[in-house]
Amino acid sequence: MAEGERYDVARKPAFELSLVLLAVWVGLFAIAALPERAQLFGRGLARSELSRLWNAAGIRTQTRSDVAFERRTSQLLAAAPADGSPSTPIDESPQRILILGDSMLDGLLPRLADYAVENRHSLNAVIWYGSRTIDWARGSRLSDALRDYRPTFVFVVVGSSELTTRDVEKRAPAVRRILETIGERKLVWVGPPNWRSDTGIGALLEREVGAQRYFRSLDLSFERKRDGIHPTLASSQKWLDAVALWTMTQSSAKVRLALPQKTGAPRPNARVFAPPTQ
């Protein structure tokens, strides 16, 4: 056998190994493109796990959440006037912002604090874990917060605990009571980030609050924590960015919410309540 032939035979195992590795990478990318949970070597792989494989190899990927938020942002910008000016002027003055609602505030609050610092707003929060519209409509917690913090702008994040509510129309009076109590203050109601189909709470909220004051979180996709319900901190940050953009471009309560140039603002003052007992 010639010397050149011996060289080719010696390299054959390395060439076959390269083909095997290439096939594995192609297979992984194909799995990542599948719409459902994938199986690899008999083990289910969530997309987050696949992402860790890419990241370990130094490969950057775009999640479905990234794509959804970019699409929603593009829609919001496209809906703005062509000359770049809002249909109604943005209120540039510092606001006293109050954000109140359920456990979804845990993820939204850090990013909103960055916005408050960037735009010279003050910020207070009332977190009532597991709270529903009917809880905020009764008792004095809402009116107490409005009296004590004297907000000029209110974010309401309530509805996630009512996705499976029966007789959802019976929640309409509670929503109206909340709106009446808040009164003429600037308002944006942030709809629930559905992790499952609801029984109508989203549609009811949008109808009662009005399309120009209701942000449809249902339009977005989220990366979730292990509970499968709450968005991750990173996903919540993108969620708040989308809410801020919509508030400035599409809502009837346009206030200055320019994108923060810095992160890590101190946690704002917050009242925290345990879940309702009934």
Beta bridge partners of 214: 189
User: How do the domains of the chain map onto residue ranges?
Assistant: 3-61, 65-273
What is the DSSP secondary structure assignment for residue 255, as one 8-state letter?
A: B
Residue 197: per-residue pLDDT = 95
Q: How far apart are CA 36 and CA 45, in angstroms?
A: 10
The continuous run of DSSP H or E covering 101 comes out as: strand 96-101
Residue 23: per-residue pLDDT = 52
Cα distances (Å, whole numbers) of residue 176 to 74, 144, 210, 228, 270: 32, 18, 11, 30, 25
Q: How far apart are CA 124 and CA 105, in angstroms?
A: 12
Q: Which two tokens stand for residue 215?
A: 């942000």
Q: Which CATH class is domain 65-273?
A: alpha beta
> Which residues fall within 8 angstroms of residue 17, CB to CB, at 6 or more apart?
none
The continuous run of DSSP H or E covering 213 comes out as: none
Residue 19: per-residue pLDDT = 54
**Full-model pTM:** 0.72
Could you read off the pLDDT of 154-194 as tens digits, one per residue?
A: 999 999 999 999 999 999 999 999 999 999 999 999 999 99
- Three-class SS state of 269: strand
Beta bridge partners of 190: 215
Could you read off the pLDDT of 198-215 as tens digits, one per residue?
A: 999 999 999 999 999 999
Residue 193: per-residue pLDDT = 97
Share of the chain above pLDDT 90, in %: 67
The dihedrals phi and psi of 101, each to the nearest 5 degrees, come to 160, -155
In this prediction, the residues of the chain whose per-residue pLDDT falls under 70 are 1-87
Residue 278: per-residue pLDDT = 76
- Three-class SS state of 200: coil
Residue 94 burial class via C-beta count within 10 angstroms: exposed 0-12, middle 13-18, buried 19 and up: middle
Q: How far apart are CA 196 and CA 18, in angstroms?
A: 43
